[in-house]
């Protein structure tokens, strides 16, 4: 698609492709200066592009929770807020998850999840009072517990996405 600006004709597709390439190079760890040099632009352009698209600043964030009724709604909100990892299950999914694995498979999977969560700077846990305390102890990092009921919780709980969004935004003011 072409756009006319004065006597210039701008190819939007070419512009979008260049931005995608710049962001790809930055996400692979290249400095703003290295990307600017490679693309033949000023470093300030790279900085301004990142600022225009920035959703939040700060460390990486993970959300984990169960049993959550509106997990798809929460996953959508998490994507919008730039949450890096989201693992949410309903009560039925939680039982399917547990019953589909042997004891050793389940233990290995739980250990993998804990290992994954330890990579994030902040973990938001949606769960029972007992689960939030247990996960905070296991992770030994900043954990924000959002209690959705007392243990044991046997039915899906609705979690207000705006309350979780507010927590995420407050972390990076």
Copy the structure tokens of residue 14. Answer: 């070419």
Q: What is the pLDDT of residue 55?
A: 56
The predicted model gives 23-28 an average pLDDT of 90
- Which pTM does this prediction carry? 0.68
In this prediction, what percent of the chain has a pLDDT beyond 90?
75
The predicted model gives 128-143 an average pLDDT of 88
Neighbours of 36 (CB within 10 A): 19
Q: What is the pLDDT of residue 136?
A: 87
48-85 core/surface letters (b: 16 or more CB in 10 A; e: else) = ebeeeeeeeeeeebbbbbbbbbbbeebbebbeebebeb
Model confidence at 4: pLDDT above 70: yes
Q: What is the pLDDT of residue 126?
A: 97
Q: What is the pLDDT of residue 22?
A: 94
Model confidence at 173: pLDDT above 90: no
**Measured distance CA(86)–CA(76) in Å, rounded:** 10
Using an 8 Å Cβ cutoff, are 131 and 21 in contact?
no
pLDDT band at 27 (very low <50, low <70, confident <90, very high): confident
Q: 96, 97, 89: which is closest to 72 by C-alpha?
A: 89
For the stretch 55-72, pLDDT in tens is 556 778 999 999 999 999
Using an 8 Å Cβ cutoff, are 62 and 122 in contact?
yes
Q: What is the pLDDT of residue 85?
A: 96
């Amino acid at each position: 698609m072409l756009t006319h600006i004065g006597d210039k004709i701008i190819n939007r597709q070419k512009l979008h492709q260049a931005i995608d390439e710049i962001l790809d190079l930055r996400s692979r760890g290249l400095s703003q200066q290295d990307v600017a040099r490679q693309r033949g632009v000023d470093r300030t352009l790279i900085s301004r592009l990142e600022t225009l698209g920035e959703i939040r600043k700060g460390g990486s964030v993970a959300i984990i929770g169960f049993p959550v009724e509106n997990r798809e709604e929460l996953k959508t909100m998490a994507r919008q807020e730039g949450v890096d990892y989201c693992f949410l299950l309903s009560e039925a999914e939680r039982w399917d998850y547990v019953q589909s694995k042997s004891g050793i498979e389940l233990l290995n999977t739980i250990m993998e999840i804990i290992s994954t969560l330890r990579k994030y700077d902040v973990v938001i846990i949606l769960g029972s009072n007992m689960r939030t305390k247990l996960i905070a102890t296991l992770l030994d990092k900043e954990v924000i517990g959002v209690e959705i009921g007392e243990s044991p919780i046997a039915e899906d709980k609705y979690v207000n996405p705006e309350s979780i969004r507010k927590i995420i935004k407050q972390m990076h003011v």
